[in-house]
Amino acid sequence: MKYKTPFIEKHWNKLLVLPTVVYLGIFAFASFGLVVFLSLTDISFKGEIAGFNFVFAKNYIKALTDPIFQTSLKNTAILVCIAVPIEMLLGLGIALMLNQDIKGKRFFRSLFLLPLMTTPIVVGNIWRLMYNSEFGLINYILTSIGILNKPIPVLGQPETALFGIILIDIWEWTPFVMLIILSGLQALPTAPYEAALVDGASSLQIFRRITLPMLTPTLIVALLLRLMDAIKIFDVVYITTFGGPGLSTEIIGLTIYKEAFRKLNLGYASALTVIVLFVVIIVSNIILMIINKLTKR
């Protein structure tokens, strides 16, 4: 700037990021500090504030021995371990297809993005109708082609409810992975591909030796974003099953919601929130360590 003072000139870069730092300090770090503080108390709202005493690690000990929380951790782990890898594979395959010079590429790109642009409430209601055992489209198709002898209530029985939620998550979030990977593919340099074609490399060799190594940073970003978001899944489960039948689809986000807004145990719900945060941090760091070791070989 032409009229910068010496102080502004010296600290210009810091001043540019100051609004962001203030925003994060107020709405992120302060909120996290409040949650940690509440997790050390027994605060709850049941008609009136029933106690505000420091219990320190009591809420965390209760969480580690709570069978409902343990079930929600198990269900969330199953969902993440099944849904995220499938989303990564499908997203990579669709992105590779859309990166080719095919007819109708723009149409297919818009078509694959439709689930991502649909609000979670609508997604949950649509799939709840599709899973319906009386007039649902999925049961009708499976019985018509002979895969099922009779319609089954997918979301109404413990054996299939969680896998029904997993299928919804895959349908909804595969386009997100595809979009990230497609952006990474379009940013790759063309010179290595031209050299490989001149040398007579096959399509599989080009993918394994050129595309995949250069695309690894983008794949890591997509994996971590989906991993963190899948652990926090809430809205679709809330709309479709609300954790049922029984505890077959009880996930972490829903357990925290019930403790905070149904049972009004803010202290315990805050402790669960802190535990989930550290689970996300630990799992993300483990994945990064594994990927770093694999890429250095």
* pLDDT band of 49, cuts 50, 70, 90: low
**Domains of the chain, each with CATH number or no CATH:** 58-296 (1.10.3720.10)
Residue 36, pLDDT score? 92
pTM of the full predicted structure?
A: 0.89
Mean pLDDT to the nearest integer, 192-220 = 89
Residue 50, pLDDT score? 52
Residue 55, pLDDT score? 87
Mean pLDDT to the nearest integer, 213-231 = 91
What's the whole-number average pLDDT of the chain?
A: 89
Mean pLDDT to the nearest integer, 226-255 = 93
What's the burial of 296, exposed, middle or buried (CB within 10 Å: 0-12/13-18/19+)? exposed
Residue 6, pLDDT score? 74
Mean pLDDT to the nearest integer, 263-281 = 91
